[in-house]
Amino acid sequence: MKGILLKSMQRLALTLAGLGLAAAAVLPTTAAAATPAPLLGCGLSAGALADGWSGGYDITTTKPPQVRVRDSYPMFNSTASATWYYTEEAGGRSSYSGLILQGSNMYATHVAYDGVAPQPTVSATRIGTGWSTFRQLSRSNYVQGTKPHSYIYGLNTNGSLYRYTTASGIRSWGSAPGFSSLRAMTLIAETATYDTLLATTNGGALYTIRIPATAPMKPIVKKVRSTGYSAFESLVVQRCGTSGSVLAAFDNDANRVSIYALSHATGESTVIKSIDTGDAGWPTPQYFLLTSARGPQLVGE
């Protein structure tokens, strides 16, 4: 991964300052890095974690798609991650913040750029334990309205989908059984009243899972496609237009990413247009969205 140092572009995002969590254990740091420029056009930025490195891709929906390799930098190993948020600061400084799992521990990760150095300063603070049985994470952060919320969704090896609120620390906010067949999942919508996950099954089906923001947790599952998505270990979605989405589906075995344009999700009547595929050669990575928590909000369902 040391050779993957191509210039890339990054989206704006938000820090995890609102978590209000106390420091417990801090992981080692690296040097600081130059501030990247924002990604333009309809597309998405996908972060990647693999083998002690972090990087990823900037993808635009041209045909063939543009898949631009992002600058890579040293990072500690992890077992799962969710959306990372980016913010610009005074004096040319900027940073990413996200949540990762390492074994049974959850860490709040901070990646700081000083606008000068070629690599970022990376640190992480342990904010919880007991996460060793979670194999997928997704995160919502609805802030554009009168009823903001921020949830973590975790797929457990026991077949249940768990929800946690991050409004004041990380607290359990319900769970639902019956999801043992899910293979990959990502957020596709975040609204004042519900979040929606887009998920694949081991058999290759594609579903939306709408979860009302209220408690108790009662997911509403809709089939989008019966087959065709079994090859993908990771999904990343970004908003495209007023109600559509761009989907990047990663096939780790083939080292490829398939790019799709999706209409507003309406079950099996959802329009899915295949754009093309591109190279995505990170070894056995975890992929996640890099975005701004203050826009665009996801509106895919």
Q: Which CATH number is 228's domain given? A: 2.115.10
**pLDDT number for residue 293:** 65
Does 272 or 144 have the greater pLDDT score?
272
Residue 21 lies in a domain: yes
Residue 8 pLDDT > 80: no
What are the contacts of 263-267 at 24+ separation with CB within 8 A? 264/299, 264/300, 264/301, 265/188, 265/189, 265/196, 265/198, 265/208, 265/222, 265/224, 265/300, 265/301, 267/208, 267/222, 267/223, 267/224
| CA atoms of 260 and 275, how far apart (whole Å) | 5
Question: Average per-residue pLDDT in the chain?
Answer: 84
Question: Looking at 85-99, 164-178, 260-274, which range is the least confident one?
Answer: 85-99
Higher pLDDT, 294 or 40: 294
Q: Look up residue 94 and give its amino acid.
A: S
Rounded to whole angstroms, how far apart are CA atoms 280 and 15? Answer: 27
For residue 153, name the pLDDT band (cuts at 50, 70, 90): very high
Number of domain units in the chain: 1
Q: What is the mean pLDDT of residues 66-77?
A: 89
Average of per-residue pLDDT across 220-244: 95
Q: Tell me the mean pLDDT in the region 65-87.
A: 90
Answer whether residue 253 is part of any domain: yes
pLDDT tens for 14-42 read 223 333 222 333 333 333 333 333 333 57
CA atoms of 171 and 165, how far apart (whole Å): 5
Instruction: Give the other-Cβ count within 10 Å of 53's Cβ.
Output: 19
Q: Tokens 């559509």 label which residue?
A: 244
Query: Is residue 229 situated within a structural domain?
Result: yes
Residue 6 lies in a domain: no
The whole-number pLDDT of residue 192 equals 94
The answer to whether the CB of 270 falls within 8 A of the CB of 220 is no
Q: Is residue 259 part of a domain?
A: yes
- In a domain, residue 10? The reply is no
pLDDT at 13 over 60: no
Domain membership of residue 67 as a residue range: 17-291
Residue 123 lies in a domain: yes
Instruction: Tell me the two tokens of residue 186.
Output: 């990502």
Within a domain: 211: yes
User: What's the pTM value of the predicted model, to 2 decimals?
Assistant: 0.86
pLDDT in tens, 176-214: 999 999 999 999 999 999 999 999 999 999 999 999 999
| pLDDT of the residue at 295 | 66
